[in-house]
Amino acid sequence: MRSCLIVLGLFVLAIALRSARKALWRKLGALVFLVASFMAFYYMTGRWWGGLIGVVMWFFLPWVELLTRIRRMRLPMENRLRSRNAPDPSFFPNAVEAAAAMEEAGFEHVDDCGWEWGGMKQHFRLFWHPEERAVSAVCLCEQGDVAFAFISVTSRDKAGRLWRTTNFPFSATLKCPPQMRWNHVPCERNCFHQILGDHHSFLRKLKIEPDSLRVPDPDEIESSIEAEMKSQIRHNLEAGIIRETGSGHFEYTFRGLLFLWGQFVKDMVRLC
């Protein structure tokens, strides 16, 4: 009874900490969950290595989805953006504010478009700024009952290299080619002015001169996004992360599943 009460108390404490507003307390709650799992398996087995099994099991949970849904997933080799009406603003909090902030910063609206990717509907509101030599976007994502929005700012140089700053909350599901560099900022940072400032700092850190950047063509923004995805798919085919299925689609290889598992674990540690 004493061991059950200790484990139960740890789980209750972990749930309480996870419901806190501050990230530090939430991370501490995740740590307490691991301690509770260790104690539960330790009491059941009477061995310290039994407790470690209870902790390690949390990091192998992504394999349930990897070996079921993702292993059977077939994704298109070529995906086309299509013009779409903007979704209901009430369904995507902060998206309207982000778009308004882009216009305040001098970015001009180009188009609303979207595509479906792996069962997720993605809607883009695209903006451009000739003086900034950058393209910004609010991306609205919907998958089942889950919906979220994120912001990105992208610059390209005359050689075709790409630099992007984004508050996208998850790790990439495909490897990025060498000519693409991503700067991930905390997903809680949803103010466009802050993200634009982070993008400027990112370029300065890499010593990218503004004059070396290409002024975007608003008529080519959608096609450049499609070309970017094609380049990423080719890179992952060469890296053995994915393979063609022979029907205009691709699937993840076992090496690709290992890559995704690493990304899932990274998100578990970063977002806990």
In this predicted model, what pLDDT tens digit does every residue of 86-140 receive, in sequence order?
Answer: 777 766 767 888 889 999 999 999 999 988 887 788 899 999 999 999 999 999 8
Per-residue confidence (pLDDT) for residue 147, from 0 to 100: 79
Angle at alpha carbon of residue 107, lines to 101 and 202, rounded to 5°: 80
Q: Which residues have CB under 8 Å from 189's CB, separation 6+?
A: 167, 195, 198
What is the average per-residue pLDDT within 151-180?
92
pLDDT of 57: 87
Cβ atoms of 8 and 33 within 8 Å: the answer is: no
Among left, alpha and beta (phi > 0; psi -120 to 50; other), residue 109 is beta
- Would you say residue 271 has pLDDT above 70? no
> Average pLDDT in the 240-255 region?
92
Q: What is the pLDDT of residue 253?
A: 96
pLDDT at residue 73 above 70? yes
Query: How many C-beta atoms surround the C-beta of residue 247 within 10 A?
Result: 9
pTM for the structure as a whole: 0.83
